[in-house]
């Protein structure tokens, strides 16, 4: 299975989709020098 990663930058939010992460979407919110990562699982 090829690795598919799509990153879309919207304002200060980056949506990172990795097919290898069990079809999950990670949302990163850059704040100061720290990044809070929230993962949301998607069903297909």
Q: Which residue has the tokens 């990044």?
A: 35
Hey, how many other C-beta atoms are within 10 angstroms of the C-beta on 9? Answer: 8
Segments of the chain scoring below 50 in pLDDT: 1, 4-15, 17, 22-25, 28-44
Is residue 38 a contact partner of residue 22, using CB atoms and an 8 Å limit? no
**Average pLDDT value for the chain:** 46
Give the list of residues 6+ apart from residue 29 with CB closer than 8 angstroms, or none: 12, 13, 35, 36, 38
Q: Where are the domains of the chain?
A: 5-41
Strands across the sheet containing 24-31: 5-10, 13-18, 24-31, 34-41
Q: What is the reported pLDDT for 29? A: 44
Q: What is the reported pLDDT for 44? A: 37
């Amino acid at each position: 299975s090829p690795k598919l990663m799509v990153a879309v930058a919207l304002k200060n939010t980056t949506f990172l989709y990795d097919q290898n992460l069990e079809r999950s979407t990670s949302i990163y919110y850059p704040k100061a020098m720290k990044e809070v990562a929230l993962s949301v699982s998607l069903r297909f």
